[in-house]
A and B are shown apart, each in its own frame.
Chain A
């Protein structure tokens, strides 16, 4: 039996894995953010008490969101293999993992955004309407800015969720820290490298959480 790789020897691999994780999470977060905000606004606006009530649309969107959200990520990953291949050209590797990560992220984030928008006092929206604002102006100048702190806090939550899910991408050879942990820890019983992966993940998640909280705190006077 060959000598086990020490964590120092695994450093270059750890570094690559970290970059892959950051890449997967960052790209899927950007997609999740843009589409999640759009979907969250739609959910809020079409609500019975929203700017443009549309119960049928609201219910249809809500159902889709709930269906996707009720799926464990590992199942979603496998279900979406075909779609991933269609979009990215391959179902393996970090880029391929971005598709299921985004699809899991969007409905989660949409609910986060919807909740943040629901927290905006109704009177502020009506005040803008009474000033002659169009619905689009209400969304851009009132709803989103007033909900910004909630959306930032929700982004932190979503980023951490994406880091967690990205670890499962190892199953489809997605690369990243999860994959590395799986290969060394589970398949080769190398606890040292496994532990190193865990520590890097903890630091990453802590970093995200602390920056998010810090940002929200710095905006306290705008709430």
Chain B
């Protein structure tokens, strides 16, 4: 498990005085999770990344990886600790003077692993990321997607506990993005490595993350499992991940109904109408795939003078289906929504 415990980072510059890039980042990422950290630009994502891959020392708080505090290490221990966190970069950052195989082997070479062992590990990783036959190519001869595959293989080479991804698909086209996201899920499942993914793209979170956190102005303002977030009608982050049209916000008699997996496919809506003899109309919604799960989200108009208590009682008996009245919801933070795509 990796925990960020009240992480803070303040830059001191002569020109601008103290700049607080991170004020309070507290989050614990369970083993095997794909943790998304989303935030608008300027929220502190880059600073957080540089603190997490230990390129910068936080000015407050701790990073605890499987019980070890990584924030108070001597320089030799720091180098060893860096090997426990593999980083995948937005712009790949491969060495262009080296072949694919030698790029993948670099972390092992730096750690002093013997050539034979290194070669065996490289072969394994080449297969894992699907680059068979390209081992002796140079990065300049590869497409962006292939380069990112090399980047992922390289980050995994030293068998890190955590794979840290910095906007791993922002430099790629949509088709390639989806292949790389599939690869990350595959790596997460087959190797069991915990992934921390920093991004401004909600689509990435929707697609692969099991957990999500919202970073805003240097602090984590909300976090949780993606399923909990999207089924919690009061969650701003859940609203961002699976949004409902803003025009409906506050309309009386309209409720947001969320259903998970099998429940999303069941005819509870018609059952509801029959049971109560109601005329109900669906004003927005659909079934979305979030990670491996199906989430049905419907905005349903029961009419302004509906007996809310009776409806709520029905939903209390159906724990797979959640209900929330839109006029009781807080409007999602629209400035963040606009920043995040």
A-side interface residues toward B, CB under 8 Å?
121, 123-124, 126-134, 137, 141-142, 145-146, 148, 220-223
Chain A CB within 8 A of B200 CB: no
Given the complex, which residues of B lie within 8 Å of A146, measured CB to CB? 95-97
* Inter-chain contacts of B315 with A (CB < 8 A): none
B107 touches A132 (CB 8 A): yes
Chain A contact residues: helix, strand, loop or mixed = helix
- Shortest Cβ-Cβ A-B pairs, 10 listed: A127-B93, A145-B97, A132-B82, A132-B79, A123-B93, A130-B53, A132-B83, A131-B107, A221-B138, A222-B97
Neighbour of B79 across the interface among A134, A142, A221, CB < 8 A: A134
In the complex, 30 of the A-B residue pairs with CB atoms within 8 angstroms, ordered by the A residue number, are A123-B91, A124-B93, A124-B94, A124-B95, A126-B55, A127-B93, A128-B106, A129-B55, A129-B82, A130-B54, A130-B85, A130-B87, A131-B83, A131-B86, A131-B87, A131-B107, A131-B110, A132-B79, A132-B80, A132-B81, A133-B79, A133-B110, A134-B79, A137-B110, A141-B95, A145-B95, A146-B97, A148-B97, A221-B141, A222-B97
Quote the shortest CB–CB distance from A100 to chain B (angstroms): 34
A141 close to B96 (CB less than 8 A): no
- Verify if B115 is at the interface (C-beta below 8 Å from A): no
Candidates B53, B54, B96; contact of A223 at CB < 8 Å: B96
A124 CB → nearest B CB, Å:
5
Cα–Cα, bound, A170→B47 (Å): 60
Is there contact, CB below 8 Å, between B140 and A223?
yes
Report A63 CB to chain B, min CB distance, Å.
Answer: 24
Q: Are A141 and B110 interface neighbours, CB within 8 A?
A: yes
Cα–Cα, bound, A129→B93 (Å): 12
A127 touching B110 in the complex, CB below 8 Å, given contacts A132-B79, A221-B140, A222-B140: no
* Nearest neighbor of A131 in chain B, beta-carbon distance: B107
Are B97 and A127 in contact (CB-based, < 8 A)?
Answer: no
Q: Which residues 41-59 in B have Cβ within 8 Å of A in the complex? A: 53-55
Chain A residues with CB under 8 Å of B302's CB are: none
Q: CA A20 – CA B126 in complex, angstroms?
A: 53
**301-330 of chain B: CB within 8 A of chain A:** none
A122 and chain B: residue at smallest CB distance: B93
Say if the beta carbon of B331 comes within 8 Å of chain A. no
Partner of A131, one of B82, B91, B94, B97: B82
Q: How far is the CA of A145 from the CA of B138 in the complex (A)?
A: 13
Contact partner, B111, options A124, A128, A129, A132, Cβ 8 Å: A132
State in angstroms the CA–CA spacing of A131 and B110 once bound together.
Answer: 8
Q: How far is the CA of A121 from the CA of B79 in the complex (A)?
A: 21
* Count, chain B residues at interface, CB 8 A: 28
A183 to B215, CA, bound (A): 78
Interface residue B186 (Cβ < 8 Å from any Cβ of A): no
Quick one: which of A126, A131, A141 has the most chain B CB within 10 A?
A131
Contacts of B110 in A (CB 8 A): 128, 131-134, 137, 141
A148→B138 CA distance, assembly (Å): 15
A131 CA / B140 CA spacing, docked (Å): 22
- Min CB–CB distance B171 → chain A (angstroms): 12
Chain A hits for B262, CB < 8 A: none
Query: Shortest distance in angstroms between B125's beta carbon and chain A's nearest beta carbon?
Result: 14
Q: Which residue of B lies closest to A129 (CB)?
A: B55
Chain A residue with minimal CB distance to B141? A221
B62-92 interface bits toward A, Cβ cutoff 8 Å, 1 = contact, 0 = none:
0000000000000000011111011101010
B165: interface (CB < 8 Å): no
Give the CA-CA distance A131 to B54 in the complex, in Å. Answer: 10
**Residue B182 lies at the interface, judged by CB distance under 8 Å to chain A:** no
A214 to B288, CA, bound (A): 57
* Contact indicator A141/B82 (Cβ below 8 Å): no
List 4 extra interface pairs beyond A126-B93, A128-B110, A223-B96, CB under 8 A.
A130-B53, A132-B83, A137-B110, A145-B97
- When chains A and B are docked, how far (Å) is the Cα of A141 from the Cα of B94? 12
Residues B83 and A222 in contact, CB atoms below 8 Å apart: no
Q: How many angstroms from the CA of A148 to the CA of B79 in the assembled complex?
A: 26
In the assembly, what is the distance between CA of A126 and CA of B109, in Å?
16
What is the chain A residue whose CB lies nearest that of B84?
A: A132
- Chain A residues within 8 Å of B233, by CB: none
Contacts of B106 in A (CB 8 A): 128, 131, 141
- Give A221 to B141 CA distance when docked, in angstroms: 7
Q: B300 at the A/B interface (Cβ < 8 Å)?
A: no
The answer to whether B98 and A145 have CB atoms under 8 Å apart is yes
* B-side contacts of A141, CB under 8 Å: 95, 106, 109-110
- Check: B197 CB closer than 8 A to any chain A CB: no
State A148–B96 Cα separation when bound (angstroms). Answer: 11
